[in-house]
Structure 1
Amino acid sequence: MTNSDTYQVSIVKFGTRSTVKSDVYLNFHIYKTADEPVDMDYFFWVIRNGRRTVVVDTGFSRHGGEVRNRTFLIEPAAAFAALGVDPREAPQVVVTHAHYDHIGNLDLFPVSNIIMARAELEFWLSSFASRKQFKHSIETEELDYLKRAAGEGRITTFDDDYTVAPGIRVSRVGGHTPGQSIVTVQTSEGQVVLASDAIHYYEEFDQDIPFMFVNDVREMYAGFDTIRKLMSTNASHLVTGHDPSTLERFSPVKAGPLAGLAATIGRKEEQS
């Protein structure tokens, strides 16, 4: 493995909210455990080395957060700037799925190539997007932006797996949404699995408890199994989509505008 296919992963927490477990787990009552408060944090991820930068999801927009009473900890645009991510350089943007809290700032990257599962794009551009159980999790204007980007030829779709660059691979697992995807990244500290919303919480994964909003429960369980296999073979680090303990598990950013709001895995290898 060379420096060109080894990366640093930055995990950025830009928002949060407080809820209860019965509002985040599917049919929570069947587990016969007491309900209790739980926070939900909101993240995006940046993968980079000396040769390239890849953005994974873009967080929720000001409008998308405010109408749902979410708390901003930092504006995603400011966080990208703090990381030195320059939209003019057209970094690739991986969309793990098209919910409001993952594509809310795609317009920050107007010339970037967007990579997402074909099943995800086709579903959200279909009439199903207007059905209430699905519409709850999207912003119509953001889907319109995806449609325009597709018309401009800026979206690369894949069916099962896609190599974004040497050392970075995105794979569709489904479950939470039809094209819910995970990203695997090679770092100096081993392979990282960015599970996004294939796994919202570590407890969800450990206890085998599906999340409340789900397109296909069987696929969600199968996604858990896929990630378990990765963790027992090639992968060293699991990063879930919304767990408040996430930043504590990795190397914290201690200075600058992202102090206390970000963590990293691996070194940012320079171009060789």
Structure 2
Amino acid sequence: MAGKTWEITIIKHGTRVTRRSDVFMNYGFYDEPDDSFRLDYYLWALRSGDQVIHVDTGYSAAGAAKRGRTVLIDPLEALDRLGMNAGEGNPVVVTHAHYDHIGNLAAFANSPVFISRKELEFWTSDIATRPLFSHFGDQDEVADIMEAKREGRVREFDGQLEIAPGVELIEVGGHTPGQLVVRVQSTIGPVILAADAAHFHEEVERDMLFQSMADLPQSYRVLDWLRNQDVAAIITGHNPGELERFEPVGGSLAGIAAVVGGARCLTG
């Protein structure tokens, strides 16, 4: 992965406030008082020169309304402001097929879509419609992936795949059967986009699992793996305050986006 470096843009498109007991699995086991807890919702974009790679596509307006989620900005509008139009055909990485990571995928109608084979097989199986999984899944949006597959645009793989110099997809599982993380070479060094392999830094630091995990033992192993990575930064899928750790984007995206490992501060 040496050589080419990428600028990583974090886009916060949604947020919600809930309780700690609604976020961490079996919270009562920790014998701690309950309290309010904020989750933020992100998508990510990688840019190196004229090359762009999208990592997840956020939740759609319909997906947000169905679950009472706040929309801070339409993900497609945010990308447009950054000069990354969804129709340009840039690759899309699906870290996992939950509603808040594959909404809006139909707008990327010219893009190749990278997804774990296990992930796609799971979400097209009968188990995906069982209540403990279907709350986070959306069969209409899974259908968008299947449409892309019929068009020959889906790139399924197992294990690890370098999709461009400096961008490696790693299948870790745990949260979902084919959960991916993305290892990106940036100017600050290697960065891991954990997506929902780790929703929050507290999950990694305190060994506290998120409420929904497809494979509990593997989920713990993934946290161990993340703790052992020699990287400049791990960026989680939902931790509040991820933007504050990095260089803010100004203009119309102030408070909505930040840049990791870039040589400049973008103005959206």
TM range (shorter): over 0.9
State whether residues 172 and 222 of structure 2, in contact with CA within 8 Å, keep that contact through their aligned partners in structure 1.
yes
> For residues 1-272 of structure 1, what are the structure 2 equivalents within 5 Å?
1-2=2-3, 5-230=4-229, 233=230, 235-253=231-249, 255-267=250-262
Amino acid at match of 1:243: N
Query: How many angstroms does 1:149 deviate by?
Result: 1.2
Q: Is the 8 A contact 2:87 2:107 kept in 1?
A: no
Q: What is the CA–CA distance in structure 2 between the aligned matches of 1:130 and 1:187, rounded to whole Å?
A: 39
Structure number with the bigger relative contact order (C-alpha 8 A, sep ≥ 6) is 1
C-alpha root-mean-square deviation of aligned residues, in Å?
A: 1.2
> Shift of the alpha carbon at 1:163?
0.4
What runs of 5+ residues in structure 1 fail to find an aligned partner?
A: none
Structure 2 residue matching 1:67: 3-state secondary structure: helix
Contact 1:163 1:170 in 2 (8 A): yes
Cα distance between partner residues in 2 of 1:256 and 1:148 = 36
Scaled by the length of structure 2, the TM-score of the pair is: 0.96
Query: Any unmatched runs of 5+ in structure 2?
Result: none
The ranges of structure 1 where at least 4 consecutive aligned residues each deviate by more than 3 angstroms after the TM superposition are none
Give the conservation status (yes or no) of the 8 Å contact 1:50–1:268.
Answer: no
- Counterpart of 1:55, as a letter, is H
AA aligned opposite 1:49: S
Paired amino acid for 2:113 = I
CA distance in 1, matches of 2:87, 2:212: 35
Q: 1:143–1:88: structure 2 CA closer, same or farther, 3 Å change rule?
A: closer
Instruction: Give 1:268 shift.
Output: 5.9
Q: Residue 200 of structure 1: CA displacement?
A: 0.5
Mapped contact 2:57–2:105 kept (Cα < 8 A): yes
* Distance in 1 (alpha carbons) for counterparts of 2:76 and 2:166: 26
Query: Could you tell me how far 1:261 is from its partner in structure 2?
Result: 0.8
For 1:257, what is the secondary structure of its paired residue?
Answer: helix
Contact kept, 8 Å, 1:247 with 1:262, in 2: the verdict is yes
- Local SS of the residue matching 2:258: strand
What is the Cα deviation at residue 89 of structure 1? 2.5
Question: What CA distance in whole angstroms lies between the structure 1 residues aligned with 2:87 and 2:143?
Answer: 22
Task: Give the number of equivalent residue pairs.
Answer: 263
Residue deviations 1:86-128 (CA, integer Å, cap 9, x gap): 2332100000000000000101100100001110000001111
Contact map agreement 1:49 1:268 (CA 8 A) in 2 = no
